[in-house]
Amino acid sequence: MIEFATLINALDSSNKASLKKEAIIRFLTFAPEKDKRWFLALMTGKRPRRPVSTKDLKTWALEITGIPEWLFIESYAAVGDLSETLSLILPPPLEKTDRSLNDWMEDILLIGNASLAEKKEFVLASWNRLNTIERFIFNKLLGGSFRLGISSKGLINTIATHFQIEPSIVTHSIMGEWNPHDFAFDKLVRGEYSNTNLSKPYPFCLAYPIEKEVEELGPISAWQCEYKWDGIRGQLIKRGDEIFIWSRGEELVTSQFPEISDALKQWNGSFVLDGEILAAKDGQILNFNELQKRINRKVISKSLREEVPIVAYLYDLLELDGKDLRSETLQDRRKLLEQLYQPNVGPTIQLSPLIHCENWAELRTLQATSRELNSEGIMLKKKDSVYYVGRKKGGWWKWKVNPMTIDAVLIYAQKGSGRRSAHYTDYTFAVKDGDQLVSIAKAYSGLTDKEILEVSRYVRQHAIEKFGPVRTVKPELVFEIAFEGIGYSKRHKSGVALRFPRILRWRRDKKVDEIDTLENIKKLIP
């Protein structure tokens, strides 16, 4: 347990990717085999159900310490994490233990079916044998809300580096259902229990934002033009009659889009397609907020499939019947893609429509109005370009429309993490809804270091209420918020959600009565 606690403490206490990587590799080098399996299980969400409620943990901690409720609330507000607060207020342990993470996890599995009295006895005895850091981890494991201080992608890349294998192999190997009791850690991550070559994707070819006037690119006839869609960029792979769908974030999302898999099963041959996964209904591309309803769902119900139908727009063909086509020109790859698609025309998988214009002026008009189609702008791809790895200037450009903006007032603030943990850097903004203010977006970037210090000073001096780590502030500071898209949302109090909101500038020249209204903002929704 001490190795695992040391690892989590290292991940949480640093923002440097190199230090996180070193901590993980150190754990993988020295931790027992069974602990490594549980580490991987916890990382991939394979955690036991919550055996003890956080309410009971809090009650028992207050009984032990005699701390009054009001003081605990203040402590929790200062710390910002319940498990950490509990670990800090408890008295020093009277015993010591050197049990492994696996031993603790086995006990946690068993205690799930115990009586409340037995659970209390187990928790109190455990607290009395663990130091502060170990208690924090123990509380997290019990509470069912355990999270690592690193992204899944970062962890997968670190494991791949340590074992000198491709990240896609690790991702493929640990997907799906597996039990930490049944597999050897090294063999699992190396893909020895599955054929990882079938699912292996190619590195994505990416575009740079256009840096000059499009007329400087030469004749428009040399460029393939198509709309830039706001969805999930993905590779659709069919090899050996198996289907795999990879997101650009190197995540396997096959199970989230079963209609795409069903459609691809009807296609002959093997291939790797590059495209965009979108929510679409009645021939219209829906807002990205609709697509979000399908993301990270373990089960895609029939009703959800009907509510948010999916379409995949195909951009490119990277492999056909085992042959790598990336060194072929885009023009030739497009012809092969059209030939592959022709016998398989259907509503779920479609070719991304090409835009044919006589000149750049005509394309400018389409670009300026592209948001009306729920598009972010225009993609420009040179017809003789190969499918290169990553970004390479000159071949592919993205010509995005200018972001939408609103003026909103700061109403909530919370301290950041890492080097910004002493300052308020996480903000919630509101707009007018009649005589009331309603929250419209959260933003974490856009201010200079000097402005952050000013805002933090304002929050400390004008905080009205405390809700854990969050501070309600007097609504006076107005900011211009930029965003890429907007749509209706049942999850937000305002009824709308902004896509990629960020602070454009601090509007010191505006008063709170000059901010935008919710009524006018809803008019921006396509």
Active-site residue list: 228
Cα angle for residues 198, 199, 202 (degrees, 5° grid): 110
- Give the whole-angstrom CA distance, residue 53 versus residue 66: 20
CA distance 81 to 148: 14
Q: What is the DSSP code string of 417-481?
A: SGGGTTSEEEEEEEEEETTEEEEEEEE-----HHHHHHHHHHHHHHEEEEETTEEEE-S--EEEE
- Which strand (E) or helix (H) includes residue 102? helix 101-111
Please say whether the dihedral angle defined by the alpha carbons of residues 359, 361, 364 and 369, taken in this order, is positive or negative.
Answer: negative
| In contact, 370 and 376? CB cutoff 8 Å | yes
- Nearby residues of 518 by Cβ (< 8 Å), 6 or more positions away: 431, 432, 433, 438, 440, 494, 495, 496
Structure tokens, 326: 């990336």
Rounded Cα distance between 153 and 217, Å, is: 36
Distances (CA, A) of 146 to 47, 98, 125, 200, 407: 9, 21, 21, 30, 37
The H helix count followed by the E strand count for the chain is 19, 23
Buried b (16+ CB within 10 A) or exposed e, 471-486: bbbebebbbbbbbbbb
In angstroms, the Cα distances linking 374 to 72, 284, 367 are 48, 9, 12
Tokens 């440097």 label which residue?
16
Gap between the Cα atoms of 200 and 179, Å rounded: 24
Q: How many CA atoms lie within 13 A of 65 on its CB side?
A: 21
Determine the residue type at 341: Y
